[in-house]
A and B are shown apart, each in its own frame.
Chain A
Amino acid sequence: MTPILEVQHVRKSFGGVVANNDVSLAVPPGKIYGLIGPNGSGKTTLFNSIVGQHPVDGGSIRFEGREITRLRVPQIARLGLLRTFQQTRIYRGMTCVQNMLISVSPAQLGWRSAYRRSSPAEERKAEDLLQFVGLHAKRHLPGGDLSFGQQKLLEFAMALMSEPKMLLLDEPTAGINPTLINGLLERLRQANREFGITLLVIEHNMRVIMQLAEYIYCLAHGELLAHGKPEAVQQDQRVLDAYLGAT
C-alpha cells in the first residue's frame, strides 16, 4: 500500500541546534501511527515541518504521493492534512458552535460560498460532533470559557468538522482529566474507523500510545531511534535508554 504520508530524510536545524536529522517515516492510509520520544527530541518540529509551518533544510515530504515539501500551511490544510496544537488553539471569543461552523472543509469556502450563511446540514453536523466529544451542553459558551481539557476536545471536534484525510495530533491527552482519557481514545479510534481519518499521534503517555497506535516511531535527539510494533518498541533497549537516560 502506498503511504498517505511519506517523510524522507528530513533535516531541520535552528541555528546550531539540529532538531531533525535525516528523519524518514511513512504512514499508510487508514492507520493510527504513533510518534514518541523524550522531551526535545524533535517531534513537534517534525509536525511543523510536515504541515509547512517552516521550511525544511533538506529532504522531502509527500502527501498522497504529492510533493508538499514547499507548500505553506493553508495550502497543505486544504489538501486534507490537518494538525492540532500541543498548546490548544481554538477561537476563544467565538462560541463552540461558531468554532465548529468556521471549521468546515475549506472546499466549502470558495469565492461565493464564503459569504453565505452556514447551511442547516452543517449546523446539524456541528452539533452532532459537539455531542460526539461531549460538549453539546456547552455549545453556546465562548471557546475561551472552556477548561483546557474541553478546549482540546473542541479542537479535535473542529478538526473532524473539516473532514481531513489525515490528522496530526500533538499530545491529544495532555492536560485531560485521566478519567476521561479512555473516552477520548475511543473517540480517536472511532474517528479513524468511521470517518476513515489516518492519524499520526505524538504522545507522552506510554500506556495511551501503546494501546492506540499500531506502529510507533521513536525519535531521540532529532534522529529516528527505532520503529516497529508497540510491543517491539517498548522492549527496545535503545528506546528505554533514551527515556531513562542511560549512558
Chain B
Amino acid sequence: MKLPAARALAAPAAILVLGLFAPALAPAYRSQMAFLWVMIVFALTWDLLGGQMGYNSFGNVLFFGIGMYACVVVQRDFHLGYYSALFVGMAAGAVLAVAVGALIGSGLLGLRGHYFAIGTLGIGIAAGELAGGWDFVGGGGGLVPPMYPGAVGGRETFFYYLTFAIAVITFPVLRWLYSGRFGLAINAIRDDEDKAEAMGLRTTRYKTTAWCVSAFFLGLLGGAVGNLIGFVDPREVAFASSTYGVWMVLMAILGGKGTLWGPVLGAAIFHVTQELFWKYLLGWQRVALGLLIVVIVVFFPRGILGWAREKWPERFGHGVDEAASEGGG
C-alpha cells in the first residue's frame, strides 16, 4: 500500500518549484510568504515533540528567541561583513539553542503528560522577562539588527529565500528522522513510555535528541526572523509566547498532530486565513482567529490529516491484508 516513490516526491517537488518562483509571481507578498515558511518551520518543529513524541511543549518559543538574540548580538558585536555576521549569528543561535535545550531538557523531559506542558508553559514568559531586564541585550527596548546593505526591495527577496531555505532543510531532515528507528522510538514514547522503558529503549536519549533537533531549527530560524522583522523585542517578538508560542501548537493540531504533512498543511491554512482576517476583518481579526481555533478544536480534534486518516485508513497504509493467511485472536 506504500505510495510509489515518484508520487511521494511529487508534492515536495511541486512545492519546491512553487517556492522558488513565488517571489517573481507575487512580489508584493514576499514578506507574507516569508512568514508562511516561518510558520511551517514553527509547526514542523513543534510537531516533532508534540505530535510524534507526545510531549506537548509550550516552551519551544524559547529556542526561537535565543536564536534571535544570539544572532543580533553577533551582528552587533563581531565586526564582520553583513552576510558573514548574519550567517555566523544564525549558526551561533542554533548552537546556543541546542545547548540550552540539552541543559533544561534533561530536567524537564522527566515530567510526563500534563506536567510537562505546565512545566514548559512558563519558560517562554520567564525568558522574555529575563531578556527584558538584561541590558547587554538591550533590556526592555530590545535590539535592532543592522540594515540590509543591498538594493531597496532586495531585502524582502533575500529574507524570503532565507526562510524558504530553512524550511526546505527542516522538512527532509525531519522526514529522514521519522523514517528510521528514531521515528519509531519517539512514536513508542508517545504511545506508552513505560512500555518503551520496559522494552529497554533509552527513552531519555531519544527525548533529549528530539528536543535538541527542534531547538536547532528554531534557533536557526530565530536569527533570520529577527532580521526579517527588523527589531527584537523581548516579549512581543523574540519570546512571543502568546502569539508564536501558541500558534505553533495550533497549526500542528489543525493540520494533524503526528503526521509528516499535517503541520505544513496546518501552517499554510492558518497563515493564509490569518492574513485574510487582517486584511478584510480589521478590528475583528482576533475574534475571527478565536472562532477559527474553536472550529479547529471542535470539528477537527485530530486535525485535517488525522481526520482523513480515520476516514480512509487504507490510503494511509492501515488495513487488514485480505490476501494474507487468516489471522488469529
Contacts and interface: CB of A to CB of B under 8 A. Distances in A.
Interface of A: 51, 73-74, 77-78, 82-83, 85, 89-95, 98, 101-104, 106, 109, 113-118, 131, 133-143, 145-147, 149-150, 153, 158, 162, 176-177, 180, 183
A102 B200 contact: no
Contacts of A116: 180-181
A52 B196 CA distance: 14
B329 A150 contact: yes
A56 to B, nearest CB: 17
A117 B185 CA distance: 12
Contact of B327 (A103, A104, A135, A162): A135
A73 B197 contact: yes
Nearest to A149: B329
Contact of B185 (A74, A82, A93, A114): A114
B329 A74 contact: no
Given A102-B201, A106-B201, A94 B185 contact: no
Contacts of B188: 91, 94, 102
Given A117-B179, A136-B321, A74 B201 contact: yes
Contacts of A74: 197-198, 200-203
Central interface residue in A78, A82, A136, A140, by most chain B CB within 10 Å: A140
10 contacts: A73-B197, A74-B198, A92-B192, A94-B191, A102-B199, A109-B202, A114-B206, A115-B180, A138-B327, A145-B318
A101 B184 contact: yes
Interface of B: 1, 177, 179-182, 184-185, 187-188, 190-192, 194-203, 205-206, 258, 317-322, 324-329
A109 B181 contact: yes
B203, B325, B327: most-surrounded residue (chain A CB, <10 A): B327
Contacts of B203: 74
Contacts of A109: 181, 185, 201-202
Given A117-B179, A134-B327, A146-B329, A98 B201 contact: no
Given A77-B199, A95-B317, 7 more contacts: A89-B195, A102-B187, A109-B202, A138-B320, A153-B329, A162-B200, A177-B329
A93 B188 CA distance: 8
Contacts of B184: 94, 98, 101-102, 118
Contacts of B327: 134-138, 150
Contacts, number: 139
A13 B327 CA distance: 43
A140 B187 contact: no
Contacts of B179: 117
A177 B329 CA distance: 7
B180 A180 contact: no
A147 B328 CA distance: 11
Given A93-B190, A116-B181, A73 B198 contact: yes
Contacts of B206: 114
A95 B318 contact: yes
Contacts of B324: 136-137, 139
A183 B328 contact: yes
A106 B192 CA distance: 17
Contacts of A91: 187-188, 191-192, 195-196
B318 A102 contact: no
A147 B184 CA distance: 22
A90 B181 contact: no
A93 B191 contact: yes
A116 B192 CA distance: 22
Contacts of B201: 74, 102, 106, 109
Given A102-B188, A133-B328, A136-B325, A89 B198 contact: yes
B181 A158 contact: no
B198 A140 contact: no
